[in-house]
Amino acid sequence: MITDAQLLELVKKAREVTKERKFKESIELIVTFKDIDVKKGFAINEIVQLPKTSSPATVCIIATGDMNQKAKEAKADTVIGTEELAKYGANKRESRKFINKHDFFLADTKVMPVVGKTLGQLLGPRGKMPTPVPFDASIDAFIQRFRSCIKVRSRASLSISSKIGDVSMEDPDLVINALTVLHAIEKHLPNGEKNMKKILIKTTMGKPVKQAQEVKKKYA
């Protein structure tokens, strides 16, 4: 499989082939697969914590009572209760805008049934159903962990794309993140690294940079 040196070269080339933009572009990792029958329900849906981050993920907390207050004290990006849930549930347009603003949702276990009834049909297909938070858990620890996470998701497809950072980050840090994501993906493949066909790197608006041949060396 690919080595860290090869990944570093891909990151450098991805920077070279993209134009300077007026916004901070993301750096994305793309993996294509082989020898997998997608008709047999092949899917990857995992939350991966990146070792290096520069742009924290946005986290919304859905809770009432004590957890609601603690989430506000922990400075979650957004904190809502059951009343706000009801309002969003009655307005699909606003609920879509609200959902798209957040990377992750965490919810008090007590309100999970309400979340399912009001926003489940919109959160589910987007892979954003809330992670349940037990009443005695440290909400601050949950928030901090998810701020450094990304969603790695693919369904019935022979490729997967995942953000590993942005152009403001150092190349070695992007490589560390890429390796972390690759290890997470490998665990879901029937034959591990043997099912990985190609690995590519690109910026948000740039062209994908790929290896000349299928990767043959195990990544570090």
Give the CATH number of the domain where residue 95 resides. Answer: 3.40.50.790
Separation CA 189–CA 193 (nearest Å): 7
* DSSP structural state of residue 41: -
Same structural domain, 142 and 160: no
Same structural domain, 66 and 125: yes
Separation CA 38–CA 112 (nearest Å): 31
Within a domain: 167: yes
Same structural domain, 138 and 156: no
CA distances from 28 to 110, 120, 152, 174 (A): 36, 28, 11, 10
Same structural domain, 142 and 64: yes
Same structural domain, 75 and 139: yes
When divided into structural domains, the chain yields a total of 2
> What's the rounded mean pLDDT across residues 97-126?
94
Last residue of a domain, one of 146, 179, 201: 146
- Contact partners, residue 181, CB within 8 Å, separation at least 6: 29, 48, 50, 150, 152, 162, 164
Q: What is the pTM of this model?
A: 0.87
* Least confidently predicted of 1-5, 75-79, 123-127, 173-177: 1-5
Within a domain: 217: no
Within a domain: 216: no
Within a domain: 37: yes
Same structural domain, 76 and 30: no
Within a domain: 33: yes
Same structural domain, 65 and 137: yes
Range of the domain at 95: 59-146
Determine the pLDDT at residue 218.
54
Within a domain: 172: yes
Question: For residue range 39-72, what is the model confidence (pLDDT) as tens digits?
Answer: 888 999 999 999 999 889 999 999 999 999 999 9
Last residue of a domain, one of 118, 146, 174: 146
Share of the chain above pLDDT 90, in %: 84
Altogether, the residues listed in the chain come to a count of 220
Question: For residue range 157-213, what is the model confidence (pLDDT) as tens digits?
Answer: 999 999 999 999 999 999 999 999 999 999 999 999 999 999 999 999 999 998 755
Within a domain: 218: no
